[in-house]
Every structure is written in C-alpha cells, then in structure tokens.
Structure 1
Amino acid sequence: MTTRAPAAAALALSLLLTSCGLVENLTGGNDATPTAEPSPQTGADQRERPRLPFVRQGRMSIEGGNDVTFELTITNLEHNGEYLMLEVTHDYLEDLPGTVTGRNPPVRMVDPVSGEVLRFLRDSANNGEPYGTHFVPGDPHMPTHEGLPTTLRRYLPAPTQDARYLTLTGAGVGLIPGIPITRVDEFTPAPEPNAHDYIDPETFAQEPELPDQIWYPDNPPPPDLDTSGDRHTMESFVDNPTASTTRSGDQEVIALHADEMFAFDASTPTAEAAETIRACARTLRANIGPQGGEITIVGHTDDRGPSAYNQTLSRERAEAARALLEEELGAEFTFTTEGRGSAEPLAAEGGPDDEQARARNRRVEFTYQVPLDADGAAPTQDGLASARRHVADPAHFFDDPEPVTTLIHNDVDLHVYPMVRDGAYLFQMVGFQNSTLSPLEADLDVDESVIPGSPAQYTEGTLGGFRVHNPDTGLVRYVIRIRTGDGAYEDFADRINELATGEQYLALAVFPAPAPDVTEMTLHAGAFGEVDVPIR
C-alpha cells in the first residue's frame, strides 16, 4: 500500500532552494569539513573559527498564514576551481498544512569583503531549474518528508576573488556568516540516489516506510558555463551634508553637494569648497592608490532655468573642481570633465520635499575605479568621511542571538537583534511578530521617516526605508542595493508578507559598515521609529 505525498510538500522543498525560497543543506561531508582556521580573507582576525555544520531555524511561508518551522543545516561548501557546491540538510519540524507560497526571502551567498553576491546556477536545458539535487529532470517539484531530513546540493559560480568564507542570507533564517570554503580537486561524489525506490516519480506516491535517509539524483553543471549573469555586486550609499559616496563593485562615485561649494549661479569655488575639494583629493589618492588612475568629473544642476544655461553651469563647475584636483594629485592622475545639466537627477523634484530634492541634485561627481586588491585597511582620516573604506574580517558563525529590544507599531512587534559587522558590511536582523489573533499584513509605511530629498532608490521597498546613522559623525548609511545586471537593482532588505499570529519572521537589512571603532549605531526602522543597536 502506498500514500501520496501532498503537492504542497512536493513544491515546498524546491521553492526553498530556488531564488524564491529556502537554502539547501549539506550531506555529512565530515571528511571534507575544514578544521578551525585562524586567518580569514583579510588576515587580521586570529580567533579560532567554528566548524561546520552550522544550524539555523526559520519559518516557511504557507498559504493562509499556517506557516511551519524548518531547520536548515549547512554541512559543506566546496570549491573545485570553477564552481562552488553548497550542500545542506533541510528538515520540516511541523506538518505542512497547505501550499507553500514561495515568498520566503531569496537565498544569497555573499563575499562580505568584496561585496560579490553569488546566485544558484540554472540549467537552461531543464526549464531553467537550478543545477543540483532534483527528483525528475526539469521539474521543480520535489517530495518533502516531515520529520525526515533531506540532503540537497546547489551549485554557484566560484568567487572572483580569493574568498575563504562566505555568508548565506535569506530563506527566512536571517544570517549565517563565516561559512568556510573547502578547496578540492573534485567535488565529493553525491551518494547513490534511492528516491525512486520509495517514491513514484509520476504520482509522488510514497512507500509507507521510508529509510532513515532519502538521496536524490544530482545534476552538476558542465565545465565552462558562462556564470557572469549569476555574479552580482552590492551597491552602497553613505551620505552627509557635505558629500555622499556610492560604491558598486570596483566603481566609486563621490558626489560633493554643490550648495556647499558654489554661490548661487556661480562656478568659482568658495574658500570652504576649495578645502572640501582638497579633502576629496586626499580621499581619491587613498582609495585609488599612489599609482594613480582616471577620474571622471561631472557637474549637475536642478531643472530650474534654461537647459542650455544649466548645461554650461554644470560643465564650468566640473572644470573648476578639476583645476583644484590637478593641483593636489599631480601627473599620476588623468581627468575627464563633463556637464550634464539637469538630465540625471538623484531625487524627484516637485514634491513636498522639493527644496531638499533640488539641493540633492545640484552636485559635482567624481567617478573612478578602485583596484581589486584594495582592502581599505588604512583609510585616510583627513579626507571625506563619507568615502572612507572600512573592511573588517568576515564574521564568525554564532548561535541564535537574542534581541536587544522590541519596537511596536500597529499590532506588530519588531524584535531588533544586534548588528553584525561582516567584512565591509553591517547585517541588521529583525523579527516581525503578529501580536493579534488573526493573520495580518505588516504596515511598514515609511513616508514620514524618510529624510527629505533622499534618493528614491534607497528609500523604497519594504525595508528599503531602514537606515543607520552615526550621531558622532553625521553619516547616514542606507540599505544596500544589489546590481543584478542590465541596469536592474533589488534591495538587500527582505520583504515581509502575511504574518501568522504569534510567530516571528526573521528579516535582514544590509548596510555599508562604519569605522572599526564604532560599536553602536542608531537604526531608523521606518514606521517603528528608531533605536540604538550594538554591533557584534
């Protein structure tokens, strides 16, 4: 006699391991698990590191709010010189009462030092399904067994830099940092599959008694895949009244606010502006390196006045900034200047914050490339505060943390956990909890908490209105955006959907890291208000 596995259960496991949902788990792999090592990417952290397996629990989104608890165990992360193989064990700790929605935060593997984000490789010959563990080729459905751990594999591009530890985010488990990469000549062979001996691939009917472990077929990627589309970069934005800095991969853009540098309708820098540009020059030398490089200087205006006049004014301001930079930087650096008038606004003009938005758009930008080996170990202290690079070691894995405080808004409790400094970033984990007796949608309206004139791309999205602020420096750090290619972006901040009553849903927002001596930041949590949060 056989029993049929529910369709909801069959789809659940697949959704977790695609961009829609959960993370995978690693099989045994103890022989390949590295011993504790003292030196991560940047080599400064000498503490002994925890060894795999790493375990986290989270909530899986089920229709009707009847979500279930699952456990994710990372057991192996191997690098064969071309790809990464992530192996995890996934275990539902409760019965599945309905269809999995696939709305859990997407799984990402992050190099926290370089800011590279890696996504699962997909097989175009099998309906775009991820390479790795499957039941029927090209079919996203997989059986799920409550109370029976299932081992799964997924494959990713290898990091472009020599990373030794990666961080996993998403899937409703928050943050799993410090996952060690094991270098191998060949991936550990997957165990011989036995799933078809117990489960019918056409009907998903299961034998009444299953073995202690179910193994599924593995579909590893072939050599020489083009993986460029599965490598994404993290874009950061740090702001203060004098300047803002945007970083994306190896490109940086420093924007000096023109109102701090030029009188109205003028293109001659004020005395204060001259010192600001000299500070910018010191920052450029520190960030690019003494070998020099190419710097593009672009002037911008708001949209008031004739377009031809704005074009001329923006070009003249860019050329004035160039003249001062040349005096400071010398022959190792080359410069290109442009004026773009009002064609590229950062903030939307004409709204209730029109004055601040126009001031944001009046700026002079300096764009340049940062050498790939630049680690930010010694940022200049007399340059622009917004452009200082702060890169620490990858964080260590830690057990489930405890919240430091709870904020309340419209029947939703927001449990705030300590921030985690991980490489060049701060990871802020929060837990949303419904305090009513019925499922509800979290009201995360952030309009009233947005700083007037802020660029819209850093304030939109469910958690996109979150930001962190250092009162001692005045610097504001916005949620990281992920550049996915073809000009597309997505917030590195999890989206929260329907909340079942009484349960906590973990979410993550990621920010650029402050200086290493900063041990606390003020979190602006949208509609929930603000709170000071310690940094691990």
Structure 2
Amino acid sequence: MRRAAGDVPTLCTAAGLALTAALLSGCELGGGSPAQGSPKGSAPAPRPSGPLAKEARAMLGTHARIEVKQVERHADRSVLRLHLTNLKDSPSQFSFGTSLASAAFAELHFKLVDPVGRRIYHPLVDEGGKGRMVGSVTRTYHAHPGVRYETVVHFPPLPGDVRAVTLITPSTAGEFTGVPVVAGRGGTGPEAPVTEASVTPPRGSTVALPVHTQNGQAPHRVNDLYGVASGEVKTTSTTRSEQRIGLRADVLFDFDKATLTPRARAVLDDVAAQTRAEADPSKPPIVITGHTDGKGAPAYNMPLSQQRAAAVLKELQARLGTAYRYRAEGRGEKLPVAKEGGADDEKARARNRRVEISYQIKQERAETRTGATTGPVSPALAPGRPAAFRPTDGRTVAGRTIEFQLWGRPAKRRIDVRPFYRDGAYLVAVFEITNLGPGDLNIVDGYSDGGVGRFGSFTVTDPTSRITYEGVSIGAPTDAQGGRNIDRLDPGWATFLEKPSTANRGFFYVPAPPPNVTSVTFDAGGFGKFHDVPVQ
C-alpha cells in the first residue's frame, strides 16, 4: 500500500475536538496483529439456509447473539422477526439504543433499509409517535443467559416489489444484509410462548419476550436516503425519485458576475445531456436555483443569485427545448451546504457559491419473475442488487496506528480496514477501530466533522474520476431553513466497548461508484488515507 504525503490530518471526537495525530506505523498489508474481536475469513460466504446470525456488543454492556429470520409483509405493517440470546454470565437487558437515554430504557432502535429503493424505515411508535415502540418489550426485562428470546419489531409497510432489505443494528454486528421479505402467514406477534421476567427458562430453550401492542395511531416514519457525490465541477445529490446537480459558481461565472464563462458552456452541455437522459418531462418543472456565500449584504446576494439562475436556465432551455418546463429562483446566502467561518472558510464559501438544477427522475415499470418493479430509466442511476448476507467481513486489507493528545493526555488507536462491498445503490465501508490505551474511550466518542453522523469525517473517493462520495444522509442533507441534517446511514453509535485492547466495528454507507470501479481510496479522517481498498 502507498501513502501520499499529508495523508494523516486530524482526528475528531463527537464533541468536535480536533486532535493532532502522529503516525506510528504506515499503511500495513495484513494490518499487523489482529484487533480483538476481529472477524475471521475471506470472501463472503453464501447466504445460509438458517438464520442470519452475528455476535453483537451494544450500549451499556449488552453482549448478545442476534439471529435474524425474516421480515414479514402484513396488511398495514411489516414485522421483523429475530432471536436474541444473552451471551453474558448473568441476566441482563438487551439495550440497542442510539443514545444514552434510549439505551437506558432498553429500546430496540433497529432500522430497515431498502438499498435498491433508497429508503429507510423506522419502528412504529404508538400514541401518535410519542408513545412506545410496537413489538417486543425489553425495558425492565432481564434476559437469562443461553436462552433464545424471540423478538418482533413492527415497521411501516414495505413496497410490494421489495424482496430483501438490510437491517441496521446499533451494535458491533452493524448491518445484516440480504434479510428476506416474505408474506406474513400468521399473526404479527411471536410464535414462541411468551415468558414473563419472573420466570427462568432453561438454557437452550426458545421463548418470546413480552409484546407491547399498538395503542392509538402509529405514524409511518419513512425517510428517503440522499447520496452525495462531489467532483471538481459539480456535486450530485440523488434519492429514489429526485436528482439535484450542484454546479460550482466559480466554474460558471467570474467573480461577482452573472455572465457565463466559456468553460461554463461545455459544463452545461454535459449537464443537459444528463438531464435529457434522466429528467421526467411529465413531472415538471426543472428547477434552477442560484446560491451565494455569506459575504455581502442580502440585498446584493439575492439578485445576484437570481441572475445567475436565469442565465443557466436560458442555456439549458436552448439545449433541451420546449419538452420541459423550467423555473429559476435565487436564494442568496440563505441555504448554505457548508459552514462558513471555520478553519476551511474559503473552501466552505466556494461550496456555497453554486447553481443547483433539480428534477424528477424518469421511472419505468418492469415485470420480473417475482413481480413488478419500478426503477430509473437511466442506466447511470439504476441501483445494483441487494447484497447477500455477510457473516464475516473478510481479511484486513490495510491498517494504521496513530497517537495523539486527548484532553491533554496521550492516546493511541488503530484502524483495520476490511474490503468494501456493494449493497444495492450503495457502497459499504467497513473497518475496526481498536483502543490501544492507555485509558478508556469516552462512550460518546465518534469520528465526525461537526457532529454529522458517527463517521462524518470519513469519505470514499474513486481515484480515476476523482469523485468523492460522502456518507448517505437519512433525509435531506439540509432543510428549507438551511439547517444541517446530521443523521447518516451508520450504526448510530461509534463506541460500544471502551476498555484498552478492545475493538469497535464500524461501517457507513456512501453512494456506489460505477460498476467498473474495483478499488477506492478511503479517507479515514485522522487515521489518514488508504489507497486501493478493494470493492467486492
């Protein structure tokens, strides 16, 4: 493995503290000594005929075996069916929360991802979304060691063409790909006998956790997943139905001008060709929105953004013709995509100076042997197949150890990188981070930039196109008021084990690069860059 100069910048905690990292060992093939808890094996095994099973460490000391059976499709909901086994020596709660509060209440913050349809489904919560999760109850219930507890979690209904989903667990087990979706043939409750907390089942038996039935309305919480890819000229944000292309204003216009540069016309030629292939003329309009950075008065920025949007609209209309309807608007400095005023202020301002082109994506309906399915017409937007279940992560392909100062004290950590793999429209980055001491980790530690996700400072780059893929956003990256969405498709937590010599498995989803990309560059923030990470 090779390491470019300057590949080890800073390490960040969830509290936003920047830590200067000193490289101890370069990028190592094989990763040196395996981190504690590292999975063994090489290529992904074929999907087993039995449960999809992994060992998991989660919040507040939870140590369990998770066996996922299936997701069942019922008339008004989907039901996840799995078994949990306590692997500790004494009775304890199953705590799978994504915050200290939810973990303390022993909640099951599992999520279902449709990696082809680009959507994520959250558990049903009754009483209008303010009550309790619908399904098995783990709160106040201490599971006995060696007993399999059947567990059900209720979710909103899945589309009829979904045949497999990915389960996201807030634990070191992480993601369970290839979970089958089947027709529900019985009730929505457990099949095994329910056992109350006062009863001690024999080891090896299978019982069911108590169930909380729905009380009142349980809103369907479903989010589109947004994949963001950035290049030198443009940034794209893609959902299941919408494409948003952000063109850098510094490429399109001279400083403080609204007249297109000669280079801009070639850029817009490419954008027009992409729009013609992807945009649905029956779902107008194509919206062109101008944005500025935060410098200058709003009275100056707003008309400049409007004039730039109008200039781009005129050029696109000349190339695409009257088959489409168009709308130009300016937003001035109101909707930044990067926070200005920090160490990278000029870089942030450059990102905020942009013209965005958004449109609805053409869809087509196709008949398959498993039923009808709907997807993008454009091959460039067509997602891949859902990944099969992966019981192990494979061999270590790269690793590095760093030391730094944390709250004025020395600290040392190591990252071991596994092969990345494709899951539908996404690429999954997988790694383990080991605490090499001398002290414990802070349970709220993460590897984030400004609190975005748990691994928000990590990215993936296609070395050929030089396009950088950021963590997939759960919901729009920014809201209508310019607020930044910090939720990313990752475990929801980064530190499950705090003691020295223990390892936490991490992962995050990014948009998948083109199918011909077989290796990528992994920027692991303070751990530096890793080149030639294989894509399976």
Instruction: Report the TM range for the smaller structure's normalisation.
Output: 0.7 to 0.9
2:488 to 491, 498, 506: 491
Q: What secondary structure, in the 3-state scheme, does the structure 1 residue paired with 2:508 have?
A: strand
* Other-structure match for 2:120: 117
The two structures have a TM-score, normalised by structure 1, of 0.77
Q: What secondary structure, in the 3-state scheme, does the structure 2 residue paired with 1:162 have?
A: coil
Does structure 2 conserve the Cα–Cα contact (< 8 Å) formed by 1:409 and 1:528?
Answer: yes
Name the aligned partner's letter for residue 85 of structure 2: D
Shift in Å at residue 258 of structure 1? 0.9
Separation in 1 of the partners of 2:478 and 2:75?
Answer: 27
* Deviations 1:88-115 (CA, angstroms, capped at 9, x unpaired): 1111222259887755684221000111
* Other-structure match for 1:61: 59
* Other-structure match for 2:458: 466
Q: What secondary structure, in the 3-state scheme, does the structure 1 residue paired with 2:206 have?
A: coil
Does structure 2 conserve the Cα–Cα contact (< 8 Å) formed by 1:155 and 1:220?
Answer: no
| Compared CA separation, residues 510 and 396, structure 1 to 2 (3 A) | same
Does structure 2 conserve the Cα–Cα contact (< 8 Å) formed by 1:483 and 1:489?
Answer: no
Does structure 1 conserve the Cα–Cα contact (< 8 Å) formed by 2:123 and 2:155?
Answer: yes
Does structure 1 conserve the Cα–Cα contact (< 8 Å) formed by 2:111 and 2:169?
Answer: yes
1:278 to 258, 269, 274: 269
Out of 421-430 and 296-305, give the one that drifted further. Answer: 296-305
Matched, 1:310 2:301: yes
Matched, 1:94 2:88: yes
Separation in 1 of the partners of 2:137 and 2:444?
Answer: 38
Shift in Å at residue 478 of structure 1? 0.6
The residue correspondences of 1:511-522 to structure 2 (distance < 5 A) are 511-522=510-521
Percent identity reads 27
The two structures have a TM-score, normalised by structure 2, of 0.77
Matched, 1:501 2:494: no
Separation in 1 of the partners of 2:253 and 2:438?
Answer: 58
**Structure 1, gaps ≥5 residues long:** 1-46, 201-205, 380-387, 451-455
Does structure 1 conserve the Cα–Cα contact (< 8 Å) formed by 2:119 and 2:225?
Answer: yes
**Structure 2, gaps ≥5 residues long:** 1-44, 100-108, 365-373, 404-411, 480-484
| Compared CA separation, residues 406 and 95, structure 1 to 2 (3 A) | farther
Separation in 1 of the partners of 2:432 and 2:212?
Answer: 36
Name the aligned partner's letter for residue 170 of structure 2: A
Name the aligned partner's letter for residue 77 of structure 1: V
Name the aligned partner's letter for residue 83 of structure 1: R
2:205 to 212, 234, 240: 212
1:300 to 288, 291, 302: 291
* Deviations 1:142-178 (CA, angstroms, capped at 9, x unpaired): 2311111111111111224621110012231122111
Q: What secondary structure, in the 3-state scheme, does the structure 2 residue paired with 1:426 have?
A: strand
* Deviations 1:219-270 (CA, angstroms, capped at 9, x unpaired): 4558x95543x21221221111101112245233211111101122222212
Separation in 1 of the partners of 2:501 and 2:324?
Answer: 59
* Other-structure match for 1:182: 182
Shift in Å at residue 59 of structure 1? 1.3
Out of 526-535 and 428-437, give the one that drifted further. Answer: 428-437
| Compared CA separation, residues 485 and 247, structure 1 to 2 (3 A) | closer
Q: What secondary structure, in the 3-state scheme, does the structure 2 residue paired with 1:274 have?
A: helix
Does structure 2 conserve the Cα–Cα contact (< 8 Å) formed by 1:297 and 1:337?
Answer: yes
| Compared CA separation, residues 372 and 296, structure 1 to 2 (3 A) | same
Out of 86-95 and 430-439, give the one that drifted further. Answer: 430-439
Does structure 2 conserve the Cα–Cα contact (< 8 Å) formed by 1:80 and 1:184?
Answer: yes
Q: Over aligned residues, Cα RMSD in angstroms?
A: 3.2
Name the aligned partner's letter for residue 147 of structure 1: G
Matched, 1:132 2:123: no
* Other-structure match for 2:259: 268
2:330 to 324, 330, 339: 339
* Other-structure match for 1:12: none
Does structure 2 conserve the Cα–Cα contact (< 8 Å) formed by 1:465 and 1:525?
Answer: yes
* Structure with more relative contact order (C-alpha pairs < 8 Å, separation 6 or more): 2
Separation in 1 of the partners of 2:281 and 2:391?
Answer: 43
Matched, 1:397 2:407: no
* Other-structure match for 1:107: 110
| Compared CA separation, residues 248 and 489, structure 1 to 2 (3 A) | farther
Matched, 1:150 2:149: yes
* Other-structure match for 1:426: 427
Separation in 2 of the partners of 1:485 and 1:260?
Answer: 23
| Compared CA separation, residues 279 and 486, structure 1 to 2 (3 A) | closer
Separation in 1 of the partners of 2:299 and 2:392?
Answer: 59
Q: What secondary structure, in the 3-state scheme, does the structure 2 residue paired with 1:129 have?
A: coil
Q: What secondary structure, in the 3-state scheme, does the structure 2 residue paired with 1:515 have?
A: coil
Does structure 2 conserve the Cα–Cα contact (< 8 Å) formed by 1:78 and 1:187?
Answer: no
* Other-structure match for 1:9: none
Q: What secondary structure, in the 3-state scheme, does the structure 2 residue paired with 1:195 have?
A: coil
Separation in 2 of the partners of 1:125 and 1:329?
Answer: 46
